Amino acid sequence: MRPVSSAEMGSSRRLNWKRAQISYDCVIFRAPLWFIESGLQYTRLFGWLGEDRDRDVKINVICPATEVHIRKYTKQEQIIVRETPALYEQYVKPYISGFPADRTKWMENILTGLSEQSKVLYSSSEFLILPDMKWDVKTLSSLYLIALVQDRSIRSLRDLRRRHLGLLTSIQREASRVVQDKWGLGNGSLRMYIHYQPSYYHFHVHIVNANFQGNMLGMSVGQAHLLDDIISLLQLDPEDGPGVFERMTLTYGLGDQHGLFEAMRHSSGNPDDAPS
- Where in the sequence numbering do the catalytic residues fall? 204
Can you tell me the distance from the alpha carbon of 179 to that of 164, in angstroms, rounded to the nearest whole number? 23
User: Please, is 7 exposed, middle or buried when counting C-beta atoms within 10 Å of its C-beta (0-12, 13-18, 19+)?
Assistant: exposed
Can you tell me the distance from the alpha carbon of 264 to that of 82, in angstroms, rounded to the nearest whole number? 8
Radius of gyration of the chain (CA): 20
**Which phi and psi (to 5°) does residue 79 adopt?**
-125, 155
How do beta strands 33-39 and 27-31 pair?
unpaired
* Beta-bridge partner residues of 57: 47
CB of 47 closer than 8 Å to CB of 57: yes
Can you tell me the distance from the alpha carbon of 91 to that of 248, in angstroms, rounded to the nearest whole number? 16
Compute, in degrees rounded to 10, the torsion defined by CA atoms 81, 198, 217, 249. 30
Q: Is 147 left (phi over 0), alpha (psi -120 to 50) or beta?
A: beta
* Half-sphere exposure of residue 223: CA atoms within 13 angstroms, side-chain side: 14
User: What is the distance between the terminal CA atoms of the chain, rounded to a whole angstrom?
Assistant: 58
How is residue 40 annotated by DSSP?
T
